Amino acid sequence: MTIPALELNDGHSIPQLGYGVFKVPPAETERAVSEALEIGFRHIDTAAIYGNEEGVGAAIAASGIPREELFVTTKLWNDRHHDDEPRAAIRESLDKLRLDSVDLYLVHWPTPAKDDYVHAFAKLIELREAGLTRSIGVSNFLVPHLERTVAETGVVPAVNQIELHPAYQQRDVVAWAEAHDVRIEAWGPLGQGKYDLFGVPAVADAAAAHGVTPAQAVLRWHLQKGNIVFPKSVRAERLRENLDVFGFELTADEIAAIDALDPLDGSGRVGSHPDDVN
């Protein structure tokens, strides 16, 4: 089974499906990531704030998988945007990950009240030039944050990692990304289990029609929309299930029915609004 790779606007490529480790407890991370690598995942999404980069690093080191076959993302936390802190922060992350460089480094949140996200992204440009990360991007950026970042640095981020699932599709941010050749990474691709996504007819019917689980139908919807996803689970059977999404294709009607789920009564954003995180 081959996971498709998508080209980024800087010429590098990224596996479209990966494994995210938000809320994987540090003590469980090495085991969970080792299992994910064994099952076939090659793209790992972590962050300094998750507190589990050491476990990711230990699993990678133990795997024996050549570095060039892996894609590792980590993120700069909100209190380290200023001065030359991003350089110190990435060095700490690289130490924990036991890597010389990551494949993708992101500004985790724009923290607009502090008005320092443009500075942070400008620092990421320097880190890329220094070879500490191959690609750079942002996360949780809304259109005004993106516009200003590009206008003031002259560099277009390779990705924007945003909350995105059927009931919350952020169409304005996605349209901006498409127009500027920025890849969308969808976090919370399954809505973090916070609403009954799997029970809605558009998802349940598509799953039944293809003999797959509702989670697989939703992941397939993301992939066919062009989103990069890295669903989280610490259970091996679910990791296998989440990787097994390349043997079927949703029809245009099934895609349209899931597209129509935003807005869905009683749901929407399951995480924080980017303006409220500072």
| Footprint of ligand NAD (CB under 6 A) | 20-22, 45, 108, 139-140, 161, 187-193, 215, 230-233, 238, 241-242, 271
- Closest separation in Å from C-beta 260 to ligand NAD: 20
Q: Is 19 a catalytic residue?
A: no
> Token match 């300094």: residue?
48
The active-site residue out of 19, 50, 105, 168 is 50
- Closest separation in Å from C-beta 168 to ligand NAD: 11
Please report the beta strands in 88-243, taking only residues with DSSP state E, as ranges in sequence order. 102-107, 133-139, 159-163, 183-187, 228-229
- Closest separation in Å from C-beta 78 to ligand NAD: 10
Cα dihedral sign, 100-94-28-187: negative
Nearer to ligand NAD, 66 or 230 (CB): 230
Nearer to ligand NAD, 151 or 238 (CB): 238
> Which residue is nearest to ligand NAD, using beta carbons?
20
- Closest separation in Å from C-beta 240 to ligand NAD: 9
Strand partners for 136: 105
Supply the DSSP symbol for 262: S
Counting Cβ atoms within 10 Å, is residue 156 exposed (0-12), middle (13-18) or buried (19+)?
A: middle
Would you say 81 and 68 are in contact if contact means Cβ atoms under 8 Å apart?
Answer: no
Q: How far apart are CA 185 and CA 140, in angstroms?
A: 10
Nearer to ligand NAD, 193 or 201 (CB): 193
Nearer to ligand NAD, 180 or 198 (CB): 198
The residues annotated with a catalytic role in the active site are: 50
